[in-house]
Amino acid sequence: MASIEQKMNYQLNKYPYIKKYIKRAYQLACYAASKKITSEGNIIKVSPDDPKNEYFFGYYDKTPWDITMRYLLCMKAENTWSVPDPLGKAQILLIDTENNNKVTEIAYTHTWNVQQGCMAQWLGPDFKSHILYNDMRDGKYCSVILDVNTFNERVLPLPCYTVSADGKTALSLDFSRLHNLRLGYGYSELPESTKCVALPNNTAVWKMDLETGEVTELLKYTDFANFQPRPEMQEKGSVHKVNHLMLSPNGKRFMVLYRWFNGQRKYTRLITCNVDGSDMYVLSDDDMVSHCYWKNNEEIIAFENKHEEGTGYYLMKDKTTEYHRLWPQISNDGHPSYSPLHDGSVVFDSYPDKRRVQELKIARDCDIEGREIKVVGKVFSPFKYDNDTRCDLHPRWSPDGKKICFDGTFEGHRGLYIVNL
| Residue that wins the pLDDT comparison between 141 and 18 | 141
Express as a percent the part of the chain with pLDDT over 70: 95
Q: Is 324 a member of any domain?
A: yes
- Helix then strand count (H, E) for the chain reads 5, 29
Q: What CATH number is given to the structural domain containing 406? A: 2.130.10.10
Burial class (CB in 10 A: 0-12, 13-18, 19+), 227: middle
Instruction: Tell me the mean pLDDT in the region 234-250.
Output: 95
Q: Is 21 a member of any domain?
A: no
Which residues have C-beta within 8 Å of that of residue 385, sequence separation ≥ 6?
80, 81, 391, 409, 414
Of residues 380, 374, 372, 387, the one with CA closest to residue 417: 380
Residue 287's pLDDT band, with cuts at 50, 70 and 90, is: very high
Q: How far apart are CA 131 and CA 153, in angstroms?
A: 10
Per-residue CA distances from 386 to 76, 113, 243, 392 (Å): 19, 14, 21, 9
Q: Is 246 a member of any domain?
A: yes
The whole-number pLDDT of residue 407 equals 98
Q: Is 26 a member of any domain?
A: no
Residue 48, amino acid: P
What digits encode the pLDDT tens for the residues 42-71? 999 999 999 999 999 999 999 999 999 999
Q: Is 414 a member of any domain?
A: yes
Model-wide pTM > 0.75? yes
Instruction: Tell me the mean pLDDT in the region 314-324.
Output: 98
pLDDT at 3 > cutoff 80:
no
Instruction: Tell me the mean pLDDT in the region 27-41.
Output: 79
Q: Is 222 a member of any domain?
A: yes
Q: How far apart are CA 408 and CA 392, in angstroms?
A: 7
Report how far apart the first and last C-alpha atoms of the chain are (Å, whole number): 30
Please answer whether residues 219 and 277 qualify as being in contact, where contact means their C-beta atoms are separated by less than 8 angstroms.
yes
Residue 313, amino acid: Y
Can you give the residue range of the structural domain that contains 242? 34-420
- The alpha-carbon radius of gyration of the chain (Å, integer) is 20
Per-residue CA distances from 321 to 85, 317, 318 (Å): 37, 7, 8
The whole-number pLDDT of residue 2 equals 43
Q: Is 264 a member of any domain?
A: yes
Ranges assigned E (strand) in 90-227: 90-96, 102-109, 121-122, 130-137, 140-147, 153-156, 162-163, 169-172, 203-209, 215-220
Q: How far apart are CA 81 and CA 385, in angstroms?
A: 6
**Size (the chain), residues:** 421
Number of domains in the chain: 1
Q: Is 248 a member of any domain?
A: yes
